[in-house]
Amino acid sequence: MTFKRMIHAVDTHAGTPMRVITGGVPHIPGATVYEKMKWLEANDDQLRKLVLREPRGYPAHCCNLLVPPCHPEADAGYIIMEQVEYPMMSGGNTISVVTVLLEMGILPMKEPVTELMLEAPAGLIRVRADCAGGKVKAVTFRNVPAFAAHIDAEIDVPHLGKVRVDVGWGGMFYVIADVRQFKGLELKPEHGGEIVRISAMIRQAAIEQLQVNHPDYPGVGITISQLSGPSDDPKADWKNAVTMATGPLSWDDPATWTGALDRCPCGTGTCAKMATLHAKGELKLNQPFRHQGLLGNIYTGHLVDEVTLHGRKAVVPTITGTSWIYGMNTMVLDPDDPFTEGFTIGDIWA
């Protein structure tokens, strides 16, 4: 049978499903992975929609496309795709990409430690993978510089009132609010509906009221939100719930005040949180920061250096976490299927 598209992927998760496309996508032009990402966004956005929307995906799904690296020091390249954007960097997705590259034999695994250099849209990412018995037990990556864009800013959120937030860059711009500002709300799975409602509203208000800029990525703004609070687990320092957008928010339509919860502890969100804590004097260099997601699993971060990013104070974070392969997937597009970009329905999508 002839299909319009046939895409091969390995499905992984660290809570959140993070698909890794290993074949079926034609050559993508570009002198860097960033340029490849921009070409894909402009010329074949169908791919992102097809693999992340129904019936092949669902709101919390993320995806990565393996591409040949452009930088001579890199072993592999990857483009990150989410429901409403192509992020410059993602921690959980990076951990999943490394797991697939090594456990599937795309790159050679060396036990007990494999060292790699990956090329993300954000640039070169140095990776250490702890390996045993043919398995990747933990991945540690050195992220791009992170920084605080706003500290203790007060925004006016319709229907919520005044909310105090931080904004941090960790590969994406996160607006971060302490959950203790919202009476009765706790960072637990059963409060998920209210977490995403409040988080989506905070994100939209922050987009409208707080300016951010990254010197290397003009036009990239706040796209994601994080509720944060102390953890009652002695193995963790803070707990977080990151809400990913699944569509545009309209203040006139409460049905759009929603999103999808990140089921993992969120790597770039952890980097952004560490950058804001460091800016407040609450997290020192090389101090372990154990960040817990809603499911209870933990990413451990460290700030390993202070740097200057085009005149701005920044920090260099590392993140350690684990991802697990749960399936092999061949996705096809039937020539008679009218839903060539997948579909969304308002019961679970914004």
Q: Is 185 exposed, middle or buried (0-12, 13-18, 19+ CB in 10 A)?
A: middle
User: For the CA atoms of 118, 172, 149, 238, what is the dihedral angle to 10 degrees?
Assistant: -90
The CA distance from 121 to 80, in Å, is 8
> Around Cβ 143, how many Cβ atoms within 10 Å?
27
- CA–CA gap between residue 305 and residue 121 (Å, rounded): 22
Catalytic entry in 63, 131, 264, 266: 266
Q: What is the distance between the alpha carbons of residues 267 and 297, in angstroms, rounded to a whole number?
A: 12
Q: Which two tokens mark 188?
A: 């637990």
Rounded to the nearest 10 degrees, the angle between the axes of helix 33-43 and helix 45-52 is 80
Q: Where are the beta strands (DSSP E) in the chain?
A: 5-13, 17-23, 62-67, 76-81, 113-120, 123-132, 135-142, 147-157, 161-169, 173-178, 222-230, 238-244, 260-261, 289-292, 298-309, 312-321, 324-333
- Does the active-site annotation cover 266? yes
Q: How far apart are CA 58 and CA 234, in angstroms?
A: 33
DSSP conformation letters of 202-268: HHHHHHHH-----TTSTT--EEEEEEEEE-SSTT-SEEEEEEE--S---TT-GGGS--EE-SS--HH
Would you call 70 a catalytic residue per the annotation? no
Helix (H, G, I), strand (E, B) or coil at 9: strand
User: 62, 63, 90, 225: which is the annotated catalytic residue?
Assistant: 90
Task: Cite the active site residues.
Answer: 90, 266
